[in-house]
Structure formats: C-alpha cells, structure tokens
Amino acid sequence: MDGQQSADTARVIRGAQTIDLQEEGSPGVLLLHGFGDTPQTLALLARKLHKSRFSLYAPLLPGHGRNMDAFGKSRAADWISAAKSALAEMRRRHNSVSIVGLSMGGALAVLLAAGLDDIPAVVLIAPYLGMPRALRLAASTHWAWEKFVGEVNSRDPRSIRDPIEREKNLAYGAITGRALFELSKVVKLARKSLPRVKAPTLIIQSREDPRCPPEIAEFALKALGAQQKKLIWTEGAGHIITVDYGRERVFTEVEQWLRAHTDRGAATAVEGRAAAERPES
C-alpha cells in the first residue's frame, strides 16, 4: 500500500469501512453500495448472508465515506474500476461470485455482469438506472451553475423511513454538480448494458421509493437480457430498503435467489474455466 492509499484509509469515517467477510470454500457475493453512501447500508445484509455461509465483500468506493472534497474529486471511471477490481479479486478466490448492488451499486452490478457468462446470480436492489429529467439537465449543465451554487443538500427523509436507521446513515447528504454528472455517466452506461446481462437477475424495488420510480424497475426488467429474471415489489419503505422497514423480507428474497442459483452457477463457472485452461489438441 502506497502513501496515498494509506492517507485515503486514514480519512475514512468511522463505520464506513470496507466489509470483508470472506472465507475459503464458500460462494462469494460482491456487494456494491450507492452514490454518496457507504458499505454501512449493506452491513445487515452482509451479516445475514454470512450466517448462511456466503463469503461477502463490500468495498468502499473511491471518494465515498471520507469528505466532500474526496467525493467531488472522484469520477465514474474510479467507481467502475474499483468495482471491477473487487470482482476480479473475488473471482480469483472463489469458484463462483454473485453480484448484489444497491442504488448506484445496482447500476455498477449491471456493468460488471454484462458480457460475463459465468456469474451465478445478480440482485439489483432499488437500482438507480434512470434519472429524472430535471436531474439530467442539472448534470449536463453542471459546469454552468456549480461554481455559483456549490454543494447542494440531497437529504430526503423518505429515503429511509425508519428514524433509527436514518440517524445511523453515513451518507454525505450533499452533492456537487460534477458528482451528479459522474452519476449520470454510470446510469447511461448501465442502461445500455442491460441487454448484455445474461445471469439470473432479481430486482427488488419499493413502490414508495422517492428516488427510483416504479417505471425504472419495470424498464430494467424488460431490458435485461437474462432469461431468468424477476421483479419483487416491497411496500412501506423508501429507497435504502436494506436498512428500512421490511428489510428482513429483502434479506430473505436475496438469500433465496442467491441460494437457488449459486450451486448451478458454480458448476458452470468451474467447467468454463477448465475448458479455457485446457490445451488445444
């Protein structure tokens, strides 16, 4: 680890660290958090899956969980690269690795799974795969208004209805114009990549989500290239449904989907890698 990496680690706020619950011999699951947030939003899910003998890894994405200066300097390419590196490292350690993404993490999960034929399962939780028109306009014109407006408050109490969990949340609660623009790039790339996702994919979406309207989840379901795909609706929660009311049902649905496809996916992955390594006759 070089000096810059050490400094980045030192600046991580308490509770925002990467979650690493990996064990040899168990199926891997890469967890990806959302925009401006941290792995803390996935901690309860990670512990639940770990008890069910999955190996979990939820990396803290570049620029997140530190300060607004670090956030403002991070780019879409950084987030995508970090997610890809985490997946590659997990695939070296485990025979199979599924991907679970929350919010922007769902968009990153789509980008990672696209074109890969040995991902056992994908779960998209409240995936951020569409931006309202006003936000798209703000993102595309950030260069014109950001220097005058500065940071913009992005907190919405409806995102987490449970007041106890809302208080625990470590998200920045603010965005910059440039960060919004970088998010828009992730969204655009992910939307284009949906048809290339062939892994069995589950989408879990709250009908009361203030950030991702129902039609986004419905669009994603139709656009996915997977033959096995399913959309499950939840009610009574906001956007971060991994910590909100009804989260236990979300955990159960994720676990069941991963369990149903992991064994089959692991066998396919092993066969595929063996064939790739087999010398030509």
Where residue 168 sits, what CATH number does that domain have? 3.40.50.1820
Q: For the chain, what is the mean pLDDT? A: 91
Taking residues 202-212, what's their average pLDDT?
96
For position 7, what pLDDT does the model report?
38
The answer on pLDDT for 208 being more than 60 is: yes
- Whether this model's pTM surpasses 0.85: yes
The answer on pLDDT for 57 being more than 70 is: yes
Does some domain include residue 280?
A: no
Q: How many CB atoms lie within 10 A of CB 144?
A: 11
The answer on pLDDT for 268 being more than 90 is: no
Supply 274's token pair: 């063996």
The answer on pLDDT for 265 being more than 80 is: no
- Residue 200 and residue 197: Cα distance in Å, rounded? 8
- Residue 257 and residue 231: Cα distance in Å, rounded? 12
Range of the domain at 201: 3-274
As a three-state string, the secondary structure of 60-97 is CCCCCCCCHHHHHHCCHHHHHHHHHHHHHHHHHHCCCE
pLDDT tens digits along 138-162: 999 998 888 888 889 898 999 999 9
pLDDT tens digits along 13-36: 999 999 999 988 899 999 999 999
For position 271, what pLDDT does the model report?
53
Tell me if 232 sits within 8 A of 202, measured CB to CB: yes
| Higher-pLDDT residue of 153, 120 | 120
* Poorest-pLDDT segment among 8-17, 82-91, 101-110, 135-144: 8-17
How many helices and strands, by DSSP H and E, does the chain display?
11, 9
Taking residues 107-134, what's their average pLDDT?
96
For position 131, what pLDDT does the model report?
93
Does some domain include residue 281?
A: no
The answer on pLDDT for 205 being more than 60 is: yes
Distances (CA, A) of 182 to 21, 73, 147: 30, 10, 16
Does some domain include residue 141?
A: yes
Does some domain include residue 242?
A: yes
For position 147, what pLDDT does the model report?
86
Taking residues 118-134, what's their average pLDDT?
96
Does some domain include residue 279?
A: no
Does some domain include residue 212?
A: yes
Task: Specify the number of domains making up the chain.
Answer: 1
